[in-house]
Structure 1
């Protein structure tokens, strides 16, 4: 492998490292590019050595661990000496490993940086080993490609450029490596080939690569494989374990309230980044009842997130009535879901579903002959383009009815009052302080909702709760900012703290209404979490504590008209003894990330007429090349023709009366530094024309490289500058004539 393929391989591995650094999972990842360079150099040297594979791999393991350990230790405070750094780092890693063994979340940035250092080390080392020792370019690009793809998928959308760049450079690398192997094979078997072979090889190879990437971009998306659901479930378990190992990392698409996960768990973690991809479209009637498209509800608060503890699945046929609990003041809402990016078997439904068009497993709890659904799963995986119809019962209860609902709760509702035993007392005190002036659950729920909307700043870029801290307590008293998961969690916890049964619900907001289609278009960024509070006789009623969402509007029979649920009153008093930072000192909410997006193929329609012209131009250039240097020429004749053209460009035309040796004398006077190879060419040309034995092919191959078109043009330019003096030196005629 020459310097060119090596530099290209280095670029590939640095692309993978830069992708991890740009994701900004945590601080300290800037050490990865340096580790990558060292790993590739070590791998290159070991691959060229005569060491057996086991010895080379053991050496790489030892050196890689030492370099990764050293690089990670640079992140520790400068006040520590080197011995103290290594001891401190060893203690941190040991503490993290103990947490892994005990199933506890102890992961900090140091452990993650060390793991990533080891990962990029082995990725770069294996790439060099596979490319040089195994001569397999395809295997060499796989480790870095996997790293790049995983980081780009789970990282922010701005990383989309990295897998594109990696794919393009990978194909160029494989193409280059393959050509070098072909050159070696031709030389070994003494096969002559055109000096333009490399140019043709890379030109057509590059054209094929560009066409392949363009086709991959323009082609419609692949349909999901419906037979690998168990793989998805296994991967989701891996994701959850990963989050436990490294809870302090930023989160983008790992199981949070973003697309790709509405399941049995909901984590209260770090930052989120939701994209603009369309996931579904919905038709619903009557329109005024549309609020949310529910995916799942959660009943158990762990202090760090939420669980759905329902373990019973009830199978219902298509359009079979669901025996849910009956409540007053409900109105039917019919929905038709057009699934563009379905989530396996998940079915969405507003409020309380009563009829479904699909055979469905309903995850629920029950009492007697009635059930309380919390998750809907189709009996078969749903394909993209599937249509699901649902009829739901939506609450239209007015404010006066809810105020008079009372507190006569059924027995099965008790689990919606659950709270952790170690919930900080100040959370309960704050809930009591907020609701102390009200005498009914509805007004108390409104007060909690109002407090959160008016006193907490919305911000999607908040850090995850520290280890050992209750997430709601951290949100209310330290962060004082967050996104919908935190708002909804805080309201549910505080409502339960004052004896009001409540649960957290996840799904999507209504989305953008398309009047021309009569549908709501729901995007990834519409993913949301909200609150449902239970009222006797009226069931679950929705509340919206997130400040950036519009308040829910309910009818007031007293006023005879609808009014917003959240009247603008002054913020409530904070309990004594609770320190709250001043609003002026709160960090401003981070702006949404600028997503990288490829231009739409529609923008390039106007360029399609140019494609035939470009193809014709490439064919024309090929015809000209064949005319200038016909492929039927034998190697020595082709080299001699090249000398004739060089002389013509220099102003020395071969006269018909000149022999090849006489013309050689004229040419060597202008290019004395090339006299030796020029003489070899002429001698081989004469041998090829007049001797029964052909010239030595190996020597001819060497002359092909020594007298390539690029070398000859460089000699000409070095002697005359640019070719402007040709006319002054031109003798008679206007082109070379081949000697006969």
Structure 2
């Protein structure tokens, strides 16, 4: 009862809609009814009809109590039927369900049914495992659709511990019945000691499972083909989102969940669903762009971006998230954002200054001797925002001119150089970047040259094939595939810019969206999810650039009339055709990349070595297990009575316990001689051939029964019988090698016969199948 009430309470605690508190009540009532029916003497058929009758009464009764706008029960049931009918039609036709009653009814029926079934199966048969499995799955589903509860994991851990305790209790009761039947004296503290050890082992197993899952997630990359699984899961979640549509609270998180790691991936289809709308306090300044940033990343390794910042601090509503004097010449604009999805990570353009609600922010704390300024890199809120809620954020928006950016220079602070100049394959990328920029020496002109190169020479594609495992995905994108989506465009620009000594980082979130004519109202949809590079300019700060060819180009004012009259600098004037430039670098890269990789270990190799130690520990564990198995096999061959299964069986019997069937089978198998184990294989072969052998037959009689119907098997079967009788009934030594080879011949014939292959002139066409 406690196990299923844990699962029902977990569902009831989501707060997704009203009346979910009835779910634990239904689980309790169903469990009690199941226990009563199980203890009764009704037959299985009668018990089933009683359960159906109570279900038919209980579920409509509970749902009818929720309908307060009708007086008579006839009216309530009519309204109930109509609401459930139309909600079911909406769900089956793949439309969002508008009435939460269907969800409440489904959960009531689910937990009533599994509780009733578990109570009945436990008391009648002692096997409530299928309903308990369904209850555990329900906890997992809730954790998936409710990320706040999912991060805690306490309900699932409690559920597993209680299930293991129940398994121990049922095992004890089964042995206690056997003890009572055999009049076996048992220590009074046996049940207490067994429960104590079971609880300790259950807690230890759950702890190790949780730790192992975290270790695996941290060191193992997604396998090839996982994108198909991911896209299938997204499609299933999209359909189930219709059922969750009328609910409140953190149900389905349709928007991307951002974390400290970001894989470049292979792309997924996106929808037209609105994520949020934003209202600005003034029109967008000339030259400014709005990218609704959620997260930034500073370290790239072999297709994965990481955020290496760890400082998270809570901030009160209205408190400065970023030092207001951190950068010059920025415009403070207030944005009122109305969300249409459940959000955990909040979006804000440029540099967020304040927000009107308590949040937790990931910050970049600058190491200065005076009061250290700080900059917010990501904002999280708990509890999650619900659809229809608003938050107001003040942001410092940059609108520099081209002249401002050219005049910024290269006087980068030390903390910027240390964190935002790392390049994993400096030789390849610096050669390409050098060819792109040519004689340009100003950082802004160099960044713009790289931006134009990526926009003009690479084709946008929403999805791409899985990158090869033996090649960095960005090198594969730049020199082989030459098509991709924003993750690849932005990453390529960040790394190319860094290879020239210019600090840059990757930002993810959403592009500007759809503006209204006044440039103050913006509608941001799921299809606007985006990644872009941000480049650091001294005094100005982080400035966005747009290398993705599917996005509009960023146009900034020149800044002076003289600049407007002059043509922009040309990158690499001796090779103006960037496509020819790419082909030229391909030849150079193929000739020299191998030489460079042999000089010094590349950062990906270093990262691989650093991540290798968990696998070494795993390999040592596997080798230790193999060694233990080999030693066990050697012990079994030499002294079976000292083997593990025989020892365990004997210990249980000595204490008056009933050894489980699998342990008895294992112990009996260990006690067999090698020839007796081979004869077990012969019996299995006879079963495949549908031999007419009966229990109690001797070995010779079994062979004759097989040969009578399958005469072409006489030679190998007779040879095996001869060796078997030598080993069992005579003082002469048998030849195990001959017996094994003979069994191989019989196995070959059995497999061919099973799959309807005629292997002998006298063999029938597998008529027994």
TM-score range, shorter chain: 0.3 to 0.5
